[in-house]
Amino acid sequence: MTELSDFDDIPGTTLFTAQRSRKGYHLNQFCMSLMKAENRARFKADERAYLDEWPMTEAQKQAVLKRDYNAAIAEGGNIYFLAKLFSSDGKSFQDAAGSMTGMSPEEYAAMMLAGGRSPEGVRSIKEGR
Amino acid sequence: MARITAGLTTSHVPAIGAALDLGKSTSEYWQPVFAGYDWAKRWIAEEKPDVVVLVYNDHASAFSLEIIPTFAIGCAESFAPADEGFGPRPVPVVRGHPDLAWHIAQSAILDEFDMTIVNKMDVDHGLTVPLSLMFGQPEAWPVRVIPLPVNVVQYPPPTGNRCWELGEAIRRAVESYEEDLNVQIWGTGGMSHQLQGPRAGLINREFDISFLDRLTSDPEALRRMPHIEYVREAGSEAIELVMWLIMRGAMGDDPKELHRFYHVPASNTALGHIVMEPAR
């Protein structure tokens, strides 16, 4: 279990620990509901009303409404659950991942084509490497 | 008797499925990805496996946060492609092999692996993209598939060593099955990728190539690699690579690497693919 404490030591990275899973339970289960076409249609028709059917926090609802995936993850969301949300928007993993980096979609795509983000300097906060 | 005749690993990037389904597989971007599987497609057409034990992770499709099995095994007659938010992929229904699947489940449980038995389950891109890469777009998949989903979403996932040992148990199970079946085991997911947060897009080519090398040259080191090292070095979603060790555990000592392919990028991901056969 010792390594669990290191999980917050990686820059720009949130691991889906028990604590986060508990915090994000209803946010993630809301996302799962979008696997059904009829639920996607109801959500699209009135997003706020659909969200209000779920016992989610206001911060979680705002993250969804704004499609702010960093905020959603901070509120306990997990990327594979959030994928149901961006997929129902017709967005790809590349669109969603890129949106969390502060880069434009074009900049992010160019970075990936050039071989991706280097791990140099983003391995550990404590160790500064 | 049934035999495990080969092991295969491949990434299972969802965008690969989308590229194939939308007719983009010959585009400048995707052509090199699909070309990287030409060798393995020819190889598997000659090998004609009867069954593939397909190790993958469910990406919050069959399993929500309600039930999170660490190791599960699909024992159903068939498995439908999951609707992951944009409708199910237009690919054939996956035919299972319930008799062998139940045999593996029973054998593994008595071998002290507490498998979750699943009799109804939709399968997502983690399982269908590897089939697409290996078989293209057939009317029906030319092989029966035993889905073996592993939790790598909720922390903690199983350790690499535990995955390896499960692979050993699967091999013992297959080799104690009476019917003469040609069985392959596939480990899927990886390699470098991070799909979340400001660090998204991370790729570590050096780590990936070393991982591919060590699958045959120094697998003991991979068995002991802690989760944090996968994440630090190769991105949060690279933790999927522990599933490759289930395949590797099933190969036994000194397997022979037959083929490998490595390519960056496939969407956010470094794509890695290796084919190996057990020592004769």
DSSP output for B36-94: TTHHHHHHHHHH--SEEEEEE---SSS--SS---SBEEE-SSEEPBPB-SS-B-S-PPE
Q: With 80 as the cut, is the pLDDT of residue A4 above it?
A: no
| A36: chain B residues, CB-CB within 8 Å | 83
Q: Within a domain: residue A6? A: no
What CATH number is associated with residue A33? 1.10.700.10
The full set of domains in chain B, from first to last, is 3-277 (3.40.830.10)
- Its domain, for residue A96, covers 92-129
Is B46 in the A-facing interface, judged by CB distances under 8 Å? no
Check if B28 contacts A (Cβ < 8 Å): no
Q: What domain count does chain A have?
A: 2
pLDDT in tens, B196-230: 999 999 999 999 999 999 999 999 999 999 999 99
Known catalytic residue at B97: no
Concerning whether B193 is annotated as a catalytic residue, the answer is: yes
Note the pLDDT of residue A6.
83
A104 inside 8 A of chain B by CB: no
Q: Label the pairing between strands B116-118 and B144-149.
A: unpaired
Report if residue A11 sits inside a domain: no
CB contact under 8 A, B198 and A101: yes
Residues A39, A28 share a domain: yes
CB contact under 8 A, B59 and A6: no
Mutate to test the interface with B, among A80, A107, A124, A127 (most CBs of B within 10 A): A80
**Chain A interface includes B150 (CB < 8 A):** no
Angle CA A89–A91–A92, to nearest 5: 145
Answer yes or no: is A10 within a domain. Answer: no
Instruction: Flag whether pLDDT at A30 surpasses 90.
Output: yes
Q: For every one of its 280 residues, what pLDDT tens digit does chain B have, with 9 covering 90 and above? A: 999 999 999 999 999 999 999 999 999 999 999 999 999 999 999 999 999 999 999 999 999 999 999 999 999 999 999 999 889 999 999 999 999 999 999 999 999 999 999 999 999 999 999 999 999 999 999 999 999 999 999 999 999 999 999 999 999 999 999 999 999 999 999 999 999 999 999 999 999 999 999 999 999 999 999 999 999 999 999 999 999 999 999 999 999 999 999 999 999 999 999 999 999 8
Its ipTM equals 0.95
Count CB-CB contacts under 10 A for residue A11: 14
Residue of chain A minimizing CA distance to B227: A3
